[in-house]
Structure 1
């Protein structure tokens, strides 16, 4: 198995043993496995879509709208600052980016 893994350039030789076992137990069908990400469970879907707009109370809708409007105002302020002084804006945010990347790399 190790020689086969080296020959085919596999990083984990134990995969060959897993494939061999699956083949011996279930034949070719044992090797057929869906690729990619597994689908979300029903519980995760329910949690994600827990509160649709129809189910939201009037107060919840207002809170959500307020949140979106605040984000829009913040975006427009940053856009205006960038339009007035692109070089200064980029320099200011480049420094912030570099200081954040140093924190995350430690």
Structure 2
């Protein structure tokens, strides 16, 4: 939602044009923190009429060639951002400042349109980064040591059971293996 309505902007511009108050006094009268919006509204009204005060619903898209022409004109004539914007019918001089900054930083590539917003979800799952073992906390290190000791203990118990009676141990695990493989086949 716009901060100021088009009607309010028109009222302030008309009051300025009547010549009773300047930019600062109008800003103070209407409780505005700065006089710069009023200066902008007066400029828009002067160049575009009441249409200039109405906020556009769609964003204007400019070609790279047009952007280069605007920047070339500005450099050749020495015009300010505001004067250049007025000459080319651009309502916001800050757009030209952004183009100039992008052109100086990246060249013509900086003037090309870039996709905006959040990128779409990729089809590939994210790869988890392996944990760095050198940066484990004391608690994590102790938990890891406990887990290794549990595994070692379970292994030694199974080894002892196998050594005492290898046939019984194999028979028991063979039955478990067959029953679990049957479950997999029925699915």
Q: Give the TM-score taking structure 2 as reference length.
A: 0.32
Gaps of 5+ in 1: 1-40
**How many residues are aligned here?**
62
Query: 1:103 aligned to 2:183?
Result: yes
- Identify the match of residue 59 of structure 1 among 135, 139, 162: 139
Instruction: Check 1:83–1:48 CA distance in 2 against 1; reply closer, same or farther (3 A cut).
Output: farther
- Quick check: which one's helix share is greater? 1
Larger radius of gyration: 2
Alignment correspondent of 2:161: 81
Q: Give the TM-score taking structure 1 as reference length.
A: 0.55
Instruction: Tell me which of the two structures has the higher relative contact order, counting C-alpha pairs closer than 8 angstroms and 6 or more residues apart.
Output: 2
Q: Distance in 1 between matches of 2:136 and 2:170?
A: 40
Gaps of 5+ in 2: 1-123
- The alignment's C-alpha RMSD in Å is 1.5
Structure 1 runs (4+) deviating above 6 angstroms are none
Alignment correspondent of 2:80: none
